[in-house]
Amino acid sequence: MRTLHKQTFLLASILLVSGCATTATPPSASAPVPPTTIEAVGQLTKAIPFPRGYLDPAALPNSLTLLPPPPAPGTAAKAADEEAYRAALAAPADRQALAASDADLGWPHMVQSFEPIAGLSLSDGTHPHLTMLLRRAAADAAFSTSRAKGHYQRVRPFVEHDGNTCRPQDEPMLRKDGSYPSGHTAIGWMLALVLTDVMPDKQDALLKRGYEFGESRVICRAHWLSDTLAGRVVASATYARLQSDPVFRAQRELARQELVAPR
């Protein structure tokens, strides 16, 4: 049952992405060039210094409609969550350290673990359209989890087990924030999907890093396994929706051009 539950989520994620993998039309010469600064895009809030996403909140996939409820006590899926929690407690020190690093969503830290795979900086200003593509898409992924999070208000594993996480400074906030689905996982998976789109030759390594980014939330005891599976599904749905956004498509094409331009 555990394998079936996991495969069902992952299959849905794969289908959502593969169904929208079309070639974008390059922006026309008369089309406005997407901005590359937060000042031009607008900031999410004063407390969250991220650029606004591409999608209007009403256009985001409804995670409450898309996802099933979180696993109930006594089910095989909840037993799988508990098994993953116990395994996380025994994770080696180096994996715990990576999980603690992945928990930091500050910019540019959140993309730095992808840079060795990409073979370039994703934040030093040399690829401004790629940088903005990643930042705005990540914001869309994060916000796409909010309806289900707010509705279910699932208790996080470290709280249910009266334990701790790999990043204690985040725990007061996490205690007040719903666990299902995982926003961190949605962000990490979105970063991997966007980078795979513009760097298809590196897709396996990029997707592996994106998967590990979400897996880190389980290692950190900040999320249940099922939270992360749901986070990838929501991110994939959001990525699918972005394919029809003209500004996203235009900025993606400009990001591709940055990667082939002489350095």
Type of residue found at 175: R
Pick the catalytic residue from 147, 217, 221, 256. Answer: 217
Distance CA 48, CA 189 (A): 20
Residue 227 annotated in active site: yes
Pick the catalytic residue from 154, 156, 184, 221. Answer: 184
Pick the catalytic residue from 140, 227, 232, 252. Answer: 227
At 153, list the tokens: 């208000």
Residue 104 annotated in active site: no
Distance CA 192, CA 96 (A): 21
DSSP 36-66: -SHHHH-BS-SSS--B--SS-GGGS--HHHH
Residue 162 annotated in active site: no
How far from the centroid of its chain's Cα atoms is residue 220's Cα?
16
Pick the catalytic residue from 136, 156, 223, 241. Answer: 223
Question: Which residue is associated with the tokens 């997707």?
Answer: 207
Contact assessment for residue 88 and residue 158, using Cβ atoms and an 8 Å cutoff: no
> Residues 6 or more apart from 105 whose CB is under 8 A from it?
184, 187
Rg of the chain (C-alpha set): 18
Distance CA 5, CA 133 (A): 32
Residue 102 annotated in active site: no
Q: How many C-beta atoms surround the C-beta of residue 112 within 10 A?
A: 14
Distance CA 28, CA 32 (A): 8
Residue of 138, 139, 129 lying closest to 249 (CA atoms): 129
Write out the catalytic residue numbers.
Answer: 184, 217, 223, 227
